[in-house]
Amino acid sequence: MSTLLTAARPALSELTEQERMFQEAVRDFAESEIAHKVMEMDKAQQLDHSLIPQLFEMGLMGIEIPEQYGGTGADFFTSILVVEELSRVDPAVSVLVDVQNTLVINALLRWASDDQKARYLPKLATDTVGAYALSEAGSGSDAFALACRATRDGEDWVLNGHKLWITNGAEAELFIVFATIDPDAGYKGITAFLVEKSFEGFSVGKKEDKLGIRASSTTELLFENVRVPGENVMGEVGKGYKTAIETLNEGRIGIGAQMLGLAQGALDHTIRYVQEREQFGRPIGNFQGVQFQIAEMATEIEASRLLVYNAARLKDAGKPFVTPAAMAKLYASEVAQRVASMCIDLHGGYGFTKEYPVEKLYRDAKIGTIYEGTSNMQKQTIAKALMR
């Protein structure tokens, strides 16, 4: 237990001056450029595409990409700060940035060849959105029950099948696609491929009509004899399962940051509201019962922050972080739901309308306990680590 709680010293809630300046810059950007577009994007179920070039210009789409490839050259923790700050304003926008950094770029930095890095990292740093294509209709929590098939044809591979629930599917130009080269081999047949949107036979299918994070595109991908050059196999043939597992372990910290930011945003709105809304001749924030609820939410959010920051610091330090990541994702996602629900309550009837932003954050919070590993899967990971 001491490793989980103390390995990331100094104090987890403390930021360096550089981290704090970056955090403030992202917060200012989110409040000035995103906040006024949130409700319209949610209604339209589409990201305002003018935001994407701005995200690239801010350096938020290539945070860990080394400067030699045109990236920001920062660390994983910086990615987590960015996701948290964007989520305070709009979790739908933060998902775009989160997947780009904690999944796509993270996987390329660790598993791609030098040639693949030289070809794709400069694009991902400047103008290309990426997506991570693992899930299928029959493979959710059972992530490696893949039906998408890759067959060797000379030096190339030919992909057939489809993927579901792919975040950034509508905006992405580069996809990390997991397919099996041998269904009988189980997880040992899984291989990762770098697929460009322009490859013949590849297409983006239907876009899901979702409860929350509606401006974030979640799509189906279709593969009909898609020819992928052998040089676009990422990592070793048959070792894609390792790429997927280890990348998702890092990605879960990103989900924790999303939910942390969402909860903080909901609380921020609510603190303002309870000091303005009057009943019985005084602001409702003057009532002790409301104050106690505010205090409980703030405490749970800070506990989530410490878990998320701890996991990110451990990851950057090269120390074991799988269990802390599962704890961060589990706790932050469940806190986000509780906080968003309580914020609705404190807004009363107004909270149940789209006039106030807490209604949207309440809907957005639900996905946190589902994607990149359900709460039950996180509990299983934690329990296994404790009961070895």
End-to-end CA distance of the chain: 14
**Burial grade of 124 (CB within 10 A; 0-12, 13-18, 19 or more):** buried
Supply the CATH number for residue 251's domain: 1.20.140.10
How many domains would you assign to the chain?
3
Query: Are residues 316 and 281 located together in one domain of the fold?
Result: yes
Query: Are residues 125 and 58 located together in one domain of the fold?
Result: yes
Query: Are residues 159 and 194 located together in one domain of the fold?
Result: yes
pLDDT at 8 over 80: no
Q: Which domain holds residue 287?
A: 242-386
Beta carbons within 8 Å of 289's beta carbon, 6+ residues apart: none
Cα–Cα distance between 195 and 215 in angstroms, integer?
24
143-167 average pLDDT score: 94
In this prediction, residue 14 carries a pLDDT of 82
In this prediction, residue 1 carries a pLDDT of 35
Please list the alpha-helical segments (H only) found in 37-75: 38-44, 51-57
Candidates 8, 17, 78; CA nearest to 257 is 78
pLDDT at 329 over 80: yes
Residue 212 carries which side chain, given as an amino acid letter? Answer: G
Residues in the chain, total: 388
Share of the chain above pLDDT 70, in %: 96
Cα–Cα distance between 330 and 199 in angstroms, integer?
37
pLDDT tens sequence across 273-301: 999 999 999 999 999 999 999 999 999 99
In this prediction, residue 144 carries a pLDDT of 77
Q: Which of 114, 129, 144 is the last residue of a domain?
A: 129
Q: Which of 217, 238, 259 is the last residue of a domain?
A: 238
3-state secondary structure (DSSP) of residue 142: coil
Query: Are residues 80 and 139 located together in one domain of the fold?
Result: no
3-state secondary structure (DSSP) of residue 161: strand
In this prediction, residue 12 carries a pLDDT of 63
Query: Are residues 186 and 259 located together in one domain of the fold?
Result: no
In this prediction, residue 11 carries a pLDDT of 54
Query: Are residues 372 and 261 located together in one domain of the fold?
Result: yes
Count the Cβ atoms, other than its own, within 10 Å of residue 211: 11
Query: Are residues 349 and 255 located together in one domain of the fold?
Result: yes
Beta carbons within 8 Å of 10's beta carbon, 6+ residues apart: none
pLDDT tens sequence across 114-139: 999 999 999 999 999 999 999 999 88
Count the Cβ atoms, other than its own, within 10 Å of residue 16: 10
Supply the CATH number for residue 38's domain: 1.10.540.10
Radius of gyration of the chain (CA): 21
Query: Are residues 250 and 346 located together in one domain of the fold?
Result: yes
Query: Are residues 313 and 201 located together in one domain of the fold?
Result: no
pLDDT at 10 over 70: no
Candidates 119, 152, 120, 147; CA nearest to 230 is 152
Report the greatest alpha carbon distance in the chain. 79
202-223 average pLDDT score: 98
Query: Are residues 166 and 209 located together in one domain of the fold?
Result: yes
Query: Are residues 362 and 326 located together in one domain of the fold?
Result: yes
178-201 average pLDDT score: 95
pLDDT at 245 over 60: yes
Q: Which of 203, 238, 273 is the last residue of a domain?
A: 238
| Known catalytic membership, residue 372 | yes
Candidates 267, 260, 246; CA nearest to 328 is 260
User: Mean pLDDT score of the chain, rounded to an integer?
Assistant: 95
Query: Are residues 60 and 156 located together in one domain of the fold?
Result: no
pLDDT at 238 over 90: yes
In this prediction, residue 139 carries a pLDDT of 84
Supply the CATH number for residue 157's domain: 2.40.110.10
99 or 184, which is more confident: 99
